[in-house]
A = this chain, B = another copy of it.
Amino acid sequence: MPRGPLMIIGGAEDKVRKPTILKHFVALSGGRDARIAVIPTASSLGREVVDVYDALFTKFGAARVDAVRPETRDEAHDPALVKALDEATGVFMTGGNQLKLSAVVGGTPVGEAILRAHERGAVVAGTSAGASIQSSHMVAFGVGGSTPKQRMTQVAAGLGLVPTTVIDQHFDQRNRYGRLLMIVAQSPQLLGIGVDEDTCGLVEDVDGDAVMRVLGKGAVTVFDGARMVSNAHEAKRSSPLLASGVVFHVMPEGSVFNLTTRQLVPQQTDVDPDDAVELAEASRDLRQLARDIAAADAAPAAIRRRLKLRRPPTRPSDDTPTPQGEEA
């Protein structure tokens, strides 16, 4: 069985007007058969947060919503919580403080049960803090700003659902280019993933590759430092870092990116309806031409005459000079 989809949500996902992302989560989790476990540990408002998501997921058709709310590492050993996760078709980790979430569940039976859910094909989703913790190397906390500076952020261990990555959220809204770049400059093997608010990177297993599709209102930004040059090992205090040669990808809804090969997966572009009509007409003309050629009736003059008969001129002919001396 392939691993389940991961939903990396950048925080502040729309819950009322156009709740595309949360509806998608319920649908992927099985719709009317969905059994969802909500983990609100990151939040300081645990119970209220569960109530909100319970109401939403139920409204979107989920069969059952359970709260899995360990507040200590001791509670994260509770077999009842593990059981709820083991029976879930979808796991949802709320926003809040990702360092609290990782410090409570990392390496505990609850943490293991989340990994197990992913392995058996369940959906694992998380917003804000719940997005960050999915990476192997987690942004613990840090300051905003576009320019990467030494010591502007701290890394802790995430759950590693998306290996060899560091995930940041509220990316555009809180201006987190700098801190994500700082981490990539120090650890160029990690792919940096920044997710905007009300936006989701949906990661699925495609022939063994982790392939991400973007949903929602903003963009997902990827920093690839594979060929970068940096001075991170010698930059002093809080000085700006050299980060040269980073390849990056800012991707709005509909974009697809292969996290394993680190490449954009080209998508078909939208077709302009007028273009389509024009192309269809041209295509008919070409087919007629091909038939004429096949019928050995292909003298240029004959073809031109025929086309003239078929097409009404769009402008007076004295506007468009016609080549002379080619008629024969």
Q: Is the pair B176, A146 in contact by a Cβ cutoff of 8 Å? A: yes
Out of B147, B234, B250, B270, which one reaches A172, CB within 8 Å? B147
Q: Is the pair B264, A239 in contact by a Cβ cutoff of 8 Å? A: no
Specify how many copies of this chain sit in the oligomer: 2
Query: How far apart are the CA atoms of A219 and B252 in the complex, in Å?
Result: 27
User: Shortest CB–CB separation between residue A227 and chain B, in angstroms?
Assistant: 9
Hey, which chain B residues are within 8 Å of A178, CB to CB? 172
A90 in the interface (beta carbon within 8 A): no
Query: How far apart are the CA atoms of A196 and B145 in the complex, in Å?
Result: 11
Q: Is the pair A240, B245 in contact by a Cβ cutoff of 8 Å? A: no
Can you list, as one digit per residue, whether each of A148-186 has a CB less than 8 Å from chain B (1) or not (0)?
100000000000000000000001110111100100000
Q: Is the pair B221, A146 in contact by a Cβ cutoff of 8 Å? A: yes
Q: Is the pair A247, B249 in contact by a Cβ cutoff of 8 Å? A: no
Can you list, as one digit per residue, whether each of A236-278 has a CB less than 8 Å from chain B (1) or not (0)?
0001111111111111110101000000101001100000000
Q: Is the pair A251, B247 in contact by a Cβ cutoff of 8 Å? A: no
Name A272's closest neighbour in chain B (CB-CB): B234
Name A199's closest neighbour in chain B (CB-CB): B240
Given contacts A145-B173, A219-B241, A241-B250, 11 further A-B contacts (CB under 8 A): A146-B175, A147-B196, A218-B240, A235-B252, A241-B252, A242-B250, A242-B251, A244-B249, A244-B250, A245-B249, A246-B249
Can you list the 9 inter-chain pairs with the closest CB atoms, starting with the nearest? A240-B252, A147-B172, A244-B249, A219-B240, A244-B264, A146-B172, A243-B250, A175-B175, A147-B219
Q: Which residues of A contact B (CB under 8 A)?
A: 145-148, 171-173, 175-178, 181, 194, 196, 217-219, 221, 229, 231, 234-235, 239-253, 255, 257, 264, 266, 269-270
| A–B pairs, 10, beta carbons within 8 Å | A145-B172, A146-B171, A146-B172, A146-B176, A147-B172, A218-B240, A234-B269, A245-B247, A246-B249, A247-B248
